[in-house]
Chain A
Amino acid sequence: MPELSIERALIVTEVYKEYQGKVSVPVLRALTFKALMEKKAVYIGERELIVGERGERPKRTPTYPELCCHTLQDFQVINDREKTFFRVSPEARKAQAETVIPYWEERSMRHRLFSQMTPIWKDCYEAGIFTEFMEQRAPGHTVLDGKVYEKGFLDFKDDIQRAIRSLDFTGDPRAYEKREELKAMDICCDAIITYAERHACLARKMASECDDPVRRQELLKIAQVSSHVPAHPPRTFWEALQMYWYVHIGVITELNTWDSFNPGRLDQHLYPFYKRELEEGTLTREDAKELLECFWVKFNNQPAPPKVGITLAESGTYTDFANINTGGLRPDGSCGVNDVSYLVLEVIDEMRLLQPSSNIQLSAKSPDYFLRKACEIVRKGWGQPSIFNADVVVQEMLLAGKSVVDARSGGTSGCVETGAFGKESYILTGYLNLPKILEITLHNGVDPRTGKEIGKKTGPPSSWVSFEDLMRAYEEQLSHFIDVKIRGNNVIEKLYAENMPCPFLSTVVSDCIENGTDYNAGGARYHTRYIQGVGIASVTDSLSALKELVFERRLLTADSLVEVLGRNFEGAEALRQTAVSRCPKYGNDDDAADDIMRMVFDAFYRLVDGRKSSTGGTYHIDMLPTTCHVYFGSVTGATPDGRLAGEPFSEGISPVQGRDKFGPTAVLKSASKMDHVRTGGTLMNQKFSPKVLEGEEGLRALMNLVRGYFKLGGHHIQFNVVDAVTLRDAQEHPEKYRDLIVRVAGYSDYFCDLSRALQDEIIARTEHKSI
């Protein structure tokens, strides 16, 4: 049962009380990390081979008061809520009240950040125009590359010393800041080595007390491995996994980063160890699999830290979005599938865990057999793995200015986000509510829910003579809200750069050491900031209905339509039905609707892409919702597509639930009219009745659907293979379906852990059958 751990909060508070104001901020953060690595409990579970936990033991999750200082009421809610709860002990509450809150209440990033935001930003945030990723979690979103399999932290220390020696205190005005950052990194390297040594000590102690000779050997082996990594580069498959895992614990303990870190191209990183050891006879395929399974469990033991407020509403899950990439391309452009890729597929199939999430990167060069093996798992119906178009992912990165080698070594993480692994900070900054902006447009800048004027005065609907006038007004509002969002982002980015550096993470992300600059201050080789568009299909269908009903068939004026929306279609069911059934809809390979989708997409792209951030990053767009389409729907009134007030919006780039009538290929055709290469990721969900995918014929159809979509330039596709009857039964009898896993957005979750609204939304998605 997930529990809240107060250990980290107390250690962090102690360090800050002692050092704040006495040392530079990066060094303060490094001393905090050092204290955590030296003092936090170490734990080795029964039968474990890979060791290290974020809390005192599995499923114990710490808090990060320097980011978000929970109130006692927050603790109560976290403890009591029915879904994604964490049990909070009386001791934890007492410590929070007496020690943590008095120190952090006004020092937490959450507090500082909100106090810096302008009234218009706050109004937009509260209206549900956008969300803010950094209000209670740190910028994260990077994935490791291969460097920790080639270098140990003693080697990183050498690199750091070299960088310090080459600082130019006469010519470089930032030399002092750089030295402080590098000093901080150096402290962190020692700290992670100490953390591993503590595990080695514990393992030796446990071995000496262990009666079981097999386990005693394992414990001694754990001790041996932890005495070698992470100080030195790994020599074996086991050491490689443990090396990564120490880095993982370091990153997620240092700060509560979004979109949890993961090893990225694990199969490619492990393959050289695997191959050599198999040849030398020191490892069998079964050994490798057991180690991988131990490794998988480690991810699953770390629930995402407890969230509060809007972030909880839009991302209520234990899942922390670690998403391991399999397959893809090698840096030289050849096919990346190897035997470890197949091992990974076997592991995910046997383990069936929520975390880590897994995906395959499918290139035109990937063998069909690889796709087949993945599809065999997909059709078992628990939502994994998702499938990415490796060739388009590479193109996206090339377009964003990355080198071809860095692009091929990258992939996708979180839900569907593209990044150059180990070399890029690619920060999701917040979701943007595209349909809500249409609602504001229809109300001449006013949010009908709050009554506040948060948009531009683009004119009343009666002033629009043509559909083009409406589109112009919409684009103007879109531009306004994106500006509000980016202005806020620029402040938040600076707050993090100055107050919350992450010297440990910076050590393992190129080129922070060479630049002497923190990951959060723009030190990485590539620096991307994403804004994620939500509800593209809902806004498309709404604009399409407006075009059809108001400007073409002229059934009513825009003003009267707005009035009907205001009373949630009450007394206008016939009109609502007409909007639902008789207007062109996205998802049917119908250009009448799909062209509108393209207009919205192009405007969104044009208004965001290429803009510069305050620490030198570049903005790009993503099209993914996590579960935000449900939250965004809940704050938006009825929409012209016939959707009632409060209902969820469309998910990812999937059609509005139930509005696609011509089967999966027509949906994919519509979706492919978006230029995926210009995004940093799009999310396509399809739901199939299990019967369709039965047999060889069904499997081949699934494979061909994926390959066909990717030929059309699609970025990603994932499947739910479960029928509505099963899902409804699970709502009625959750006790029978505790292990039912479904695909939500870019991740899977236990169906019974989802909010009712989200459960209903998944049931409402079109279930493709065949005749």
Chain B
Amino acid sequence: MEDPQSAYSVQLEIFNGPLDLLLHLIKKHEVDIYDIPIALITEQYLEYLDFLKDVNLEIVGDYMSMAAELGYIKSRMLLPRIKEEGEEEEEDPREELVRRLLEYEKYRDAAAELGTMEILGKDVFLAGYDRREMFGEPAEETEFVKFDLWSLVDAFSKICEDTKKAETKEISLTPQTYTVEERKNQIIEIMRSKKEVLFGDLFEGDKNRMNLVVTFLSILELLKDGMLNVFQPTFEEPIKITLREENGR
């Protein structure tokens, strides 16, 4: 069976938020942005939201509030519009949304435009560029990619997959297991002797799923305890782990 998770994450990359998605839907259905068929667009929007659900909660949150907004506009469109005497003409319930869409589109296009400039480090270079301290020094501390728990989970699931392939070939009747406590101590020992270890290397000796999980939990606990640092220099590079300097010394 194919991993549904990976199919989703590809889709997620396409849109940069609810406004980006809405602009896409408007363009796809070739509708007039000043006269958006709210019912149709809302339906399509919710369809996509369904698709996003249980993939990445953090991202879905941003999309949810727009879904609520669309629902509200839709309901206001359905209500009869009673004009009271002396009252200014009622504003179209879609107006605020259209204003936001156009505003966002303007900057989205500007960003695309910026991306086509002759960019230093991509299109053009300087003499001695390779030795240049460009993007914020010291590189050691600041240049790391921001990542969250998901990156770790992601890396862990990759390791699990790789191990699963190997697992079938080698069946041990008395698998060697250890507890989280034991494993935590082992990891500390490894870190003391090696200083810097690749995240994946800590799973090297783990031949079965149980041990993999124990190792992963141990790493998470050590992170929580503030014993370890975890970082990723760039997206292309593997996640690294170091022992955190002991305090009070």
Query: Are A and B associated in one complex?
Result: no
Residues of B at under 8 Å CB distance from A?
none
